[in-house]
Amino acid sequence: MRVGIIGGSGFAGSTLAQILTFHPDVELTYISSRRYVGKYIHQVIPNLHNKTRLKFDLPENDLIEEKCDIIFTAVPHHTSHEMIPDLLDLGLKVIDLSADYRLKDLKKYNEYYGNHSSPSLFKDAVYGMPELYREKIKNAKLIAVPGCQASCAIYALAPLINENLIDRKKIIVDSKTGSSGSGASATEASHHPIRANSIRPYKMTGHRHTAEIEQELSNICGEDVKVGFSAHAVNLTRGILGTIYSFPLNEIDERTIIKAYRKFYRKEKFIRFRKMKAGLFRLPDPKLIMGTNYVDVGFELDNHIDRIISLCALDNLVKGTAGNATQCLNIIAGFPQEKGIKQIGMFPY
């Protein structure tokens, strides 16, 4: 299968290029970057040195139509919606790594991202989370890959919401994320002397992933879910740890919660339940999943104030973006879901 990437020099696009280059049933035939056009991609993505002779091209539809069967768009938020209608008209299937088609409510999109040029496609776009929408992904023409921090919260909460175990109006998500989540372009906030040795609260309220989390959790239970989302920038390059506080509707024990997680994820190859009685890493920790498409979920039950502390760890650039996009590609193509993305992380890291 011939695949291409529009926007291959950013962190999400370059991670995707690294994965697809080694995918046994895929040929990466096209990659674009206006900034690096004409350069070998290994000059920008050093891990691909001696692994490919591909060069960056301009994002031109004639080239894309000629070289690709499926195209990934890894461009900044509020950009892909201007190009995707034309790509679909070429007969291509599109897997979009931006936020432009994740939300189904145009008012919500306008609130968090601005005006949208092709909202008519909202109904056709499938939210690219295989654990929730595997059957719809199989025949989709447009996939909207979930946001990394939204994914972390959804994976932690979905089993509890599905079993109606918690108050759906009182959920607190505390997300801690590495610097690669801010993208490849440097800003004052991502400058190393500012970012290093810091745990910086940067979006305590009004985070744009809130709408995405509420939308998907509400779809699971058929009722409105309210989430308070707060984000912190921490001294990591990659990885997210979500710590989520929820409150049970009735008296609950650990066994009931464990059964909810195991039931919801019993067939999922990339979701690992981690609640160990011994060892250094008894609960999810980003260190264990860096560079992989795995998600670790776990919890603790706090009887002192009657709360559930759910935890989720994932790599924001793999399961949080490019790896999940590849998993969606595998589903569309009829490949085994783990094809090209089943590697585990290295320890220690």
C-alpha angle 75-78-84 in degrees, rounded to nearest 5: 65
Torsion (CA) 113, 118, 121, 122 in degrees, nearest 10: 20
What is residue 312's three-state secondary structure?
A: strand
Helices within the chain (DSSP H only):
11-21, 61-67, 84-89, 106-112, 130-138, 148-162, 192-195, 209-221, 254-264, 323-333
Contact 71, 31 (CB under 8 A): no
Eight-state DSSP code of residue 138: H
Please say if 148 is a catalytic residue: yes
**Catalytic one of 68, 148, 152, 312:** 148
Contact 96, 27 (CB under 8 A): no
- Return d(Cα 105, Cα 215) in angstroms, integer: 9
Give whole-number Cα distances, 153 to 32, 85, 231, in Å.
32, 30, 12
Type and span of the H or E element at 245: strand 240-246
Give whole-number Cα distances, 77 to 80, 166, 202, 271, 294, in Å.
7, 33, 19, 27, 25
The set of catalytic residues is 148
